[in-house]
Amino acid sequence: MIDPSDYQFATLAIHAGATPDPVTKARATPIYQTTSYVFDNTDHAAGLFGLQQFGNIYTRIGNPTQAVLEERIASLEGGTAALAVASGHAAQLLVFHTLMQPGDEFIAARQLYGGSINQFSHAFKSFGWNVRWAETRDPDSFRRQITGKTKAIFVESIANPGGIVTDIEAMASIAKEASVPLIVDNTLATPYLIRPIEWGADIVVHSATKFLGGHGTSIGGLSFDAGSFNWSATKRFPMLSEPLASYGGVKLHEQFGHMAFAIGCRVLGLRDLGPAISPFNAFMILTGIETLPLRMQRHCDNARAVAQTLSRHPRVAWVSYASLPNDPSYGLAQNYCPKGAGAVFTFGVKGGYDAGVRLVNRVKLFSHLANVGDTRSLIIHPASTTHRQLTDEQKASAGAGPEVVRVSIGIEDPADIIADLDMALAG
């Protein structure tokens, strides 16, 4: 297996974590479509179940195809260990399940994917986990929300849908002051554009459904650990620092060190909550990652061309895309993601809600659906769909006001993408 330190990003996207199958010599990673695995003997089984040795037990907890995906994304992001699960939402659930106890709090940016806002505001309350909101463009607003119950800070590297670039380094400094981990959702940027760990993030999550898989075929989520947070410095993270009754008194951080968080998500959250990724979906996402650098650069180049055109269009009130020189996030984008600000951005249509809906209904090349990160260009009106469940104030804070249209620019010819939008706006 190759050493990640010896190769560049594009090479790792193809080779990291993978070797030819030792039995069949197959070059592509096989789909290990199995539920369970044979133990060598009772001692081997006991060692696996007692966390005394690594290996496969049951595909709900881990699978060889999944393991290659996990090693590849950890290599690309610079993390120590990763966990692949059934969806991006599942990845977030397991991260917080490993960190939080009933009554605990975390601070999250208001500028988030609408599904995350809903998960944090409502579903997490069933676990007794409470969210406090802060403003992405105002790092001090996070500092002001910190209390003795705070267990984490959560942001997106590039916010969905507004395209705001987060000052990750500033957020990491605030999290360090509070002795809590900084969690960064890197879905829209991918490690091709931003590697949050290099800027101080402790935990990174992805909806692998999006740009990592890249073709709109498979649902999956990923989380991984920088390996730099001291989980034993205080007693605030008992799942990681205190003896676990379910594993005979093992202390995860003491036993596994810099890999403790990723292992905790697997052997506690994934084992008991069960949102396992299918081996087939792991294979599809793994295959998609092989072309990630090629696709992401084309996505960014196309998005920049489309955003520039829309910024001059008489029926467009504004464009929020961080690669435009007049955008408030332009300086941060030049610092954090100089290769491009991703493929997802929003713009405001003159005429408000009705004009936004009319535009979405008129496009022909664009697909109207609730996803981003496909090779195809995608479009949606967030206020009537992804952010519909939010209040008007929450919609505005999240960058999903009534006039807002979100696009995920694909890798088609940019002239065709621009012509489709121009036709739809002219109607």
Calculated CA dihedral for residues 261, 106, 193, 275, nearest 10 degrees:
50
User: What is the pLDDT averaged over residues 12-16?
Assistant: 95
User: What is the pLDDT averaged over residues 418-424?
Assistant: 97
First to last CA, the chain: 56
Compute the mean pLDDT over every residue in the chain, rounded to the nearest whole number: 95
For residue range 80-118, list pLDDT tens digits in order.
Answer: 999 999 999 999 999 999 999 999 999 999 998 888 998
**Residue 398 pLDDT greater than 80, yes or no:** no
Sole residue written with tokens 């999550």 = 205
User: What is the pLDDT averaged over residues 170-175?
Assistant: 98
**Residue 291 pLDDT greater than 80, yes or no:** yes
The closest of 336, 298, 362 to 163, measured between CA atoms, is 336
User: What is the pLDDT averaged over residues 350-368?
Assistant: 95
pLDDT of 1: 65
What is the number of other CB atoms lying within 10 angstroms of the CB of residue 26?
10
Task: Return the minimum-mean-pLDDT range out of 50-59, 171-180, 317-326.
Answer: 50-59
For residue range 244-277, list pLDDT tens digits in order.
Answer: 998 989 999 999 999 999 999 999 999 999 999 9
**Residue 140 pLDDT greater than 70, yes or no:** yes
What count of Cα atoms within 13 Å lies in the side-chain half-sphere of residue 398? 26
Distances (CA, A) of 121 to 86, 106, 133, 181, 390: 21, 11, 10, 20, 10
**Residue 68 pLDDT greater than 70, yes or no:** yes
The closest of 193, 145, 201 to 168, measured between CA atoms, is 201
User: What is the pLDDT averaged over residues 70-81?
Assistant: 96
Domains of the chain, with CATH numbers?
10-288 (3.40.640.10), 293-426 (3.90.1150.10)
pTM for this one? 0.95
